[in-house]
């Protein structure tokens, strides 16, 4: 869901059947299913804050696409009592190289990076809630469960915050289920707290 200076939140989906029912009530249209594995890397000789920077290889299972190295730099924004992450590069995820997964891994190791966490997204669904002017996803993350995401254009963060709050309300997502943290951090916190340090 790439958009300009993307502003994004994630949310826990407690019951996927209830979430899908809500989407049907909203007359949402399934755009396509997908599945991929993200291999996150950290520098060997430097400490990155994973809330602010991430480097990953995305290996697609469905649809079939070349594996791609992406770099993301974020800032955490708090407006009107809600926190979200905002990409600092115009297209959000900046592609650095596309090819085989093995080539991607070799390049990152040669550049001085080491594997951090692997996030496998299965049974993922991309929905258009056209009636209300936004899109959302539902992803099953192995080791984490079902999560959703909302993303809006972020040249104007205040407007993005308004859109995020509106969409969360329309979907019926409670504030306690919403996080500004990237999926890699949420996964690392759930699987092994020591790995985010």
Domain CATH number, residue 150: 2.40.320.10
What's the domain range around 124?
Answer: 6-196
Residue 85 within any structural domain of the chain: yes
Q: In DSSP terms, which residues pair with 59 in a beta bridge?
A: 37
* Inter-residue contact 151 to 6 (CB < 8 Å): yes
Residue 113 within any structural domain of the chain: yes
The reported pLDDT for the residue numbered 140 is 97
Residue 25 within any structural domain of the chain: yes
The tokens for 23 are 């989407």
* Inter-residue contact 38 to 58 (CB < 8 Å): yes
Residue 1 within any structural domain of the chain: no
Please tell me the total count of domains within the chain: 1
Q: How far apart are CA 25 and CA 27, in angstroms?
A: 5
The reported pLDDT for the residue numbered 197 is 44
Residue 24 within any structural domain of the chain: yes
* Inter-residue contact 37 to 178 (CB < 8 Å): no
Residue 37 within any structural domain of the chain: yes
Residue 170 within any structural domain of the chain: yes
- Residue-wise pLDDT for 87-143, tens only, equals 999 878 999 999 999 999 999 999 999 999 999 999 999 999 999 999 999 999 988
- Residue-wise pLDDT for 49-76, tens only, equals 999 999 999 999 999 999 999 999 999 9
Q: How far apart are CA 141 and CA 124, in angstroms?
A: 9
What average pLDDT does range 149-158 have in this prediction? 92
Closest CA to 120 of 3, 15, 34, 37: 37
Residue 106 within any structural domain of the chain: yes
């Amino acid at each position: 869901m790439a958009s300009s200076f993307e502003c994004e939140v994630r949310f826990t989906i407690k019951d996927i059947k209830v979430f899908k029912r809500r989407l049907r009530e909203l007359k949402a249209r399934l755009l396509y299913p997908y599945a991929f594995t993200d291999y996150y890397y950290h520098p060997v000789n430097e400490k990155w804050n994973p809330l602010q920077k991430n480097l990953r290889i995305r290996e697609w299972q469905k649809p079939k696409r070349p594996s791609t190295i992406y770099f993301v730099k974020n800032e955490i924004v708090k407006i009107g009592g809600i926190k979200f992450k905002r990409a600092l590069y115009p297209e959000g995820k900046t592609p650095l190289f596309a090819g085989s997964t093995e080539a991607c891994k070799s390049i990152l190791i040669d550049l001085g990076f080491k594997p951090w966490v692997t996030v496998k997204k299965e049974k993922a669904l991309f929905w258009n809630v056209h009636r209300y002017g936004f899109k959302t996803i539902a992803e099953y993350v192995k080791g984490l469960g079902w999560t959703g995401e909302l993303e809006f254009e972020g040249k104007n963060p205040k407007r993005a915050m308004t859109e995020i709050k509106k969409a969360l309300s329309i979907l019926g997502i409670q504030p306690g289920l919403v996080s500004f943290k990237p999926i890699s951090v949420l996964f690392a916190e759930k699987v092994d707290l020591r790995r985010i340090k």
